Amino acid sequence: MDAKELRAVQAPLKARYRDDPATAMVTLSARGTLDGTGLTCRLDTARGLVESGLHPATGGDGLALCSGDLLLESLVACAGVTLRAVATALELTVRGGIVSAQGDLDFRGTLAIDKQVPVGFKEIRLQFDLETDASAEQLETLLKLTERYCVVYQTLKNAPTLSVSHRRVAID
């Protein structure tokens, strides 16, 4: 897709969202199933089932995906797609590259060994290794706009309001 095609696809969406801002609000959802007594959660994704489980550093066997890895993979996927879209809009050629993320966790927090150690990532680093002829100034703009418009990056950077609820149900 080139810049002209991208603009053509997005133009009616942008017009509708400007004219009726309520139509821009979309609720995404995810669902996991807790089966049996195992320490896993089965996720129903658009591409099939994914099983998430404990990281080996917390007693997992490494066969199921760790949710921390899934978080980093989500960041990489969103940043990569956003970078591609921004590069297309700016008419910058990115022939290829690698987007990677690393995150530092101290598992003493999640294992309740030390209550002073926070649960979760202490630091996350996002790296772009790009094959491009873009100038340094163009790359700076590309990365700045990628950060600005990457949903997962911005969600991690500016934590949303979170809530938890529960209900007791009978599952057939």
DSSP characters over 9-56: HHHHHHHHHHH-GGGG-------EE--TTSSEEEEEETTEEEEEE--G
Residue 40 sits at φ, ψ, to 5 deg, of -135, 165
Q: What is the mean pLDDT of the chain?
A: 94
Break the chain into its structural domains and give their ranges: 3-157
Average pLDDT over residues 9-23: 96
**Domain 3-157 adopts which CATH fold?**
GMP Synthetase; Chain A, domain 3 (3.30.300)
Q: Is the pLDDT of residue 143 over 80?
A: yes
Q: How confident is the model at residue 112 (pLDDT cuts 50, 70, 90)?
A: very high
Q: Is the pLDDT of residue 91 over 90?
A: yes
Q: Is the pLDDT of residue 108 over 80?
A: yes
Buried b (16+ CB within 10 A) or exposed e, 34-51: eeeeeebbbbeeeeeeee
pLDDT tens digit string along 24-78?
999 999 999 898 778 999 998 888 899 999 999 999 999 999 999 999 999 999 9
Average pLDDT over residues 13-32: 94
